[in-house]
């Protein structure tokens, strides 16, 4: 493990920012700390950096406990949320700062800075000041500045939060590409699951100072371990008792179930394609229709339960109040420790993927 957090605790007065946090990050990996705002993820990042001191526990970098090493001696690159560029310095001076502090030779500094400027694609902007740059350009400067002293670990605090939605996607793939190119171990904080899923090799989900789950994006999506993760990742309906639903009669009583929109199919009763599955459906009424751009989100009431499903705009149009046949492929059942996937037993032997 390149970076390890061992039994980390941190309180700010009554607020518990970290409760017995344990995780390890392998060298060369890009890891996301994902959680809602106020979950303590930024505090964890700042403790790795040395900008915040944990109350107890060890931060280990490259096998060395760094608890008593000051931030400036940890050799970590940090990209701040609003970039915190030195506003009285040019792009060149910003990037050169870390090298000048190390008292590197002038020519070496120049070579390294120009190398980084061309890496991040800001040639010709060396003499500009931060307020003469766009949000995306500022992020590139912040990235180059953090990399200049050749850190072995890069930490990024909400690197895309200050950028408008349109540029964000573009920058996301740019940053992922850059980090892969440089090959640096990196940890970034985000509250945006889409961002985490797209950029990270591994995701650590934090809630109320606790580590909920760590795993690859696919693992986290397919096998959420706690009810928080199941609810936080993807959109889902949480149902107190789902055992009344057709095909799920075998479910243990009194356990919460989670049904995601992609687990639900709704079709008109004259639909030919689903004819063979009619025996597994229940009848539902459309309560609302929300337009989501490339699809519609339908909310249906089935036996007093509200379920939602996404419907392609290519399909026949539907309206509120219309009766539909509703089929649920599977559901997550929440246990204290883990979640379990339950398939609709009436669909046994049916090749759902072929539909």
Partner 1 sequence: MKEQENVKQGSLKKGQNKNGEGKLVPCLLIGISVLFLLIMLVFPLVEVIYRSLKEGFEVYQNAMTASNTLSALGVTLIATVIALAVNTVFGLCASWLLTKFDFRGKNVLSTLIDIPFSISPVIAGLAFIMTFGRVGWAKPLIDWVNEVFGMDISLVFSVPGVVLATIFVTFPFVSRELIPVMQAQGSLEEEAAAMMGAKGVTIFRRVTFPHIKWALLYGMILCTARALGEFGAVYAVSKARGKTFTLPLEIDALYMAGSSDSITQAFAVSSLLVIMAVIILILKQVVEYRGKREQ
Structure tokens at 353: 């993927």
Is residue 82 near partner 1 by the rule CB under 8 A? Answer: yes
Name the DSSP class of 79: E
Residue 334: CB partners within 8 Å, gap ≥ 6?
227, 230, 255, 256, 257, 258
User: Whole-number minimum distance, CB 86 to partner 1, in Å?
Assistant: 6
Q: Which residues pair with 77 in a beta bridge?
A: 154
Give the footprint of partner 1 on residues 145-164 (CB under 8 A). Answer: 145-146, 148-149
Query: What gap in Å lies between CA 225 and CA 212, rounded to an integer?
Result: 8
Q: Which is nearer to partner 1, 80 or 174 (CB)?
A: 80
Is residue 55 near partner 1 by the rule CB under 8 A? Answer: no
Q: Which is nearer to partner 1, 55 or 73 (CB)?
A: 73
Q: Which is nearer to partner 1, 146 or 205 (CB)?
A: 146
Paired sense of beta strands 153-157 and 76-79, if any: parallel
Residues 69-82 as b/e (b if ≥16 CB within 10 A, e otherwise) read eeeeebebbbbbee
Per CB under 8 A, the list member of 35, 40, 98, 209 interacting with partner 1 is: 98
CB 160 within 8 A of CB 190: yes
Per CB under 8 A, the list member of 33, 44, 48, 49 interacting with partner 1 is: 49
Stretch of 58-66, 98-106, 262-270, 311-319 lying at the interface with partner 1 (CB under 8 A): 98-106
Query: What gap in Å lies between CA 156 and CA 10, rounded to an integer?
Result: 20
DSSP string across 187-230 = EEEES-HHHHHHH-SEEEEEETTEEEEEE-HHHHHHS--SHHHH
User: Whole-number minimum distance, CB 56 to partner 1, in Å?
Assistant: 20
Per CB under 8 A, the list member of 31, 45, 51, 60 interacting with partner 1 is: 51
Per CB under 8 A, the list member of 37, 63, 88, 304 interacting with partner 1 is: 88
Is residue 33 near partner 1 by the rule CB under 8 A? Answer: no
Stretch of 58-66, 95-103, 117-125, 279-287 lying at the interface with partner 1 (CB under 8 A): 95-103
Per CB under 8 A, the list member of 102, 118, 132, 269 interacting with partner 1 is: 102
CB 211 within 8 A of CB 171: no
Count of residues touching partner 1 (by CB under 8 A): 26
Query: What gap in Å lies between CA 239 and CA 258, rounded to an integer?
Result: 6
User: Whole-number minimum distance, CB 298 to partner 1, in Å?
Assistant: 42
Is residue 263 near partner 1 by the rule CB under 8 A? Answer: no
Give the interface with partner 1 as residue ranges (CB under 8 A).
49, 51, 70-73, 75-78, 80, 82, 84-89, 97-98, 101-102, 145-146, 148-149
């Amino acid at each position: 493990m390149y970076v390890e957090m061992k039994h980390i605790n941190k309180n700010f007065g009554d607020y518990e920012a970290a409760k017995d946090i344990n995780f390890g990050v392998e060298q060369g990996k890009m890891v996301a700390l994902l959680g809602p705002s106020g979950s303590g993820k930024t505090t964890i990042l700042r403790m790795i950096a040395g900008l915040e001191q944990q109350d107890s526990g060890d931060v280990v970098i490259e096998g060395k406990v760094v608890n008593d090493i000051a931030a400036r001696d940890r050799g970590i690159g940090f990209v701040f949320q609003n970039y915190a560029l030195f506003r009285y310095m040019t792009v060149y001076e910003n990037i050169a700062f870390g090298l000048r502090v190390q008292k590197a030779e002038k020519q070496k500094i120049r070579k390294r800075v120009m190398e980084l400027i061309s890496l991040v694609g800001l040639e010709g902007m060396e003499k500009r000041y931060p307020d003469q740059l766009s949000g995306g350009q500022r992020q590139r400067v912040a990235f180059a500045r953090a990399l200049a002293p050749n850190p072995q670990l890069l930490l990024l605090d909400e690197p895309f939060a200050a950028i408008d939605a349109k540029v964000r996607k573009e920058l996301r793939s740019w940053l992922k590409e850059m980090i892969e190119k440089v090959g640096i171990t990196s940890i970034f904080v985000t509250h945006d699951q889409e961002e985490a899923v797209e950029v990270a090799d591994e995701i650590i989900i934090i809630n109320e100072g606790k580590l909920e789950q760590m795993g690859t994006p696919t693992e986290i999506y397919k096998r959420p371990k706690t009810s928080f993760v199941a609810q936080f990742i993807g959109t889902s309906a949480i149902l107190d008792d789902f055992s009344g639903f057709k095909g799920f009669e075998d479910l243990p009583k009194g356990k919460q179930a989670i049904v995601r929109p992609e687990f639900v199919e709704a079709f008109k009763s004259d639909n030919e394609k689903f004819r063979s599955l009619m025996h597994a459906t229940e009848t539902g009424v459309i309560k609302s229709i929300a337009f989501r751009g490339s699809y519609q989100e339908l909310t249906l009431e089935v036996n007093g339960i509200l379920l939602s499903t996404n419907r392609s705009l290519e399909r026949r149009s539907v309206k509120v109040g219309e009766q539909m046949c509703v089929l649920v492929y599977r559901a997550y059942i929440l246990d204290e420790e883990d979640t379990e996937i339950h398939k609709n037993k009436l669909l046994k032997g049916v090749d759902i993927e072929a539909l």
